[in-house]
């Protein structure tokens, strides 16, 4: 009988590491709950988030309104549930745009090197010298405030970190034997970049994307809080905080619950991202 143990795959090792990290596991559970809430918002929310009830203006939390009501009598809990859709949509779409741009620029820069790398790196350094949030404010000021503009602007201003990560991976991987073998077999540069090197450079990109979702959600909330993000009556955690600051002295629930939602969401993605970073690090 053969008692030799089968070698563990990379996927199994990463999964085992994630499940043994209680902080990362907690972050993953928070993210899964948020997905569940966003997908099944119509079933979870007890009220229509846009319905105005003048008989329950600024009602304190109770059994009928778990998180109270706002200045128009709308149920805060229902608006938070629907607001999770906005936050997660902005987070994933913006990070998707940033990751795509960063992958292309980082891959081309790291693979070809020379003048190509120099030009791209000077451009990346120029982008990094501009404060991202103020650049977003400047661009949004010339555009109509909408969720689509916010996602695009956050995405096209947040790719520099991904580009530098991908470039660093490509500088190492382009000298490996499998790349030399692919070139010897006649593979084109684009084939070598996207079929052979890029799949091996995705680990740090996935970690960066996970952490980037939290940053994008924070940015969207800040823009909505300032009134240039998602516009009412569409519920967003940021514009809910804007309403709450006007009544914070005697309607504390308007600021507390949306603020907690933002805090828990960002913490969940950060915990999951840090856990993924440890699990995907080959040195560990």
Report pLDDT for 226.
83
Q: Is residue 166 in some structural domain?
A: yes
At 100, the pLDDT band (50, 70, 90 cuts) reads very high
Q: Judge whether 280 lies within some domain.
A: no
Residue 39: inside a domain = no
pLDDT tens-place string over residues 107-161? 999 988 889 899 999 999 988 888 878 888 887 777 777 788 888 888 988 899 9
Range of the domain at 225: 59-75+86-268
Q: pLDDT per residue over 241-284, tens digit each? A: 988 888 888 889 999 999 999 999 999 999 988 888 777 765 55
In-domain check, residue 52: no
Residue 276 lies in a domain: no
CATH number at residue 235: 1.10.3720.10
Averaged pLDDT, 158-175: 89
Measure the CA–CA gap between 190 and 93, rounded to whole angstroms. 25
% residues pLDDT > 90 (the chain) = 32
pLDDT at 3 over 70: no
Mean pLDDT (the chain, rounded): 86
Q: Does a structural domain hold residue 225?
A: yes
Residue 131 covered by a domain: yes
Position 103 scores a pLDDT of: 92
Q: Is residue 113 part of a domain?
A: yes
The C-alpha angle 143, 149, 151, rounded to 5 degrees, equals 150
Cβ contact 30:262 at 8 Å: no
Give yes or no for residue 20 having a pLDDT over 90: no
Q: Is the pLDDT of residue 106 over 50?
A: yes
- Number of domains into which the chain is organized: 1
Q: What pLDDT does 40 receive?
A: 94
């Amino acid at each position: 009988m053969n008692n030799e143990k089968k070698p563990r795959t990379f996927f199994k090792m990463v999964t085992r590491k994630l499940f043994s990290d209680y902080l990362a596991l907690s972050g993953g559970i928070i993210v899964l709950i948020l997905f569940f809430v966003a997908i099944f918002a119509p079933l979870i929310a007890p009220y229509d988030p846009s319905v105005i009830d003048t008989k329950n203006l600024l009602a304190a939390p109770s059994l009928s309104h778990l998180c109270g009501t706002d200045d128009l009598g709308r149920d805060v809990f229902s608006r938070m549930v629907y607001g999770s859709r906005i936050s997660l949509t902005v987070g994933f779409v913006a990070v998707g745009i940033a990751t795509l741009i960063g992958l292309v620029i980082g891959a081309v820069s790291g693979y070809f090197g020379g003048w190509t790398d120099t030009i791209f790196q000077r451009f990346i350094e120029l982008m990094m010298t501009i404060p991202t949030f103020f650049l977003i404010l400047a661009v949004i000021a010339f555009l109509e405030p909408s969720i689509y503009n916010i996602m695009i602007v956050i995405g096209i201003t947040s790719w520099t970190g991904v580009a530098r990560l991908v470039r660093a991976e490509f500088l190492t991987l382009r000298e490996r034997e499998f790349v030399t073998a692919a070139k010897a077999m006649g593979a084109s540069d684009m084939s070598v970049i996207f079929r052979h090197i890029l799949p091996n450079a995705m680990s740090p990109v996935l970690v960066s994307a996970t952490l980037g979702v939290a940053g994008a959600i924070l940015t969207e909330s800040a823009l909505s809080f300032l009134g240039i993000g998602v516009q009412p009556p569409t519920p967003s955690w940021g514009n809910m905080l804007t309403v709450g600051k006007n009544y914070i002295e005697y309607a504390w629930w308007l600021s507390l619950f949306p603020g907690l939602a933002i805090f828990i969401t960002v913490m969940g993605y950060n915990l999951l991202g840090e856990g993924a970073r440890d699990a995907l690090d080959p040195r560990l």
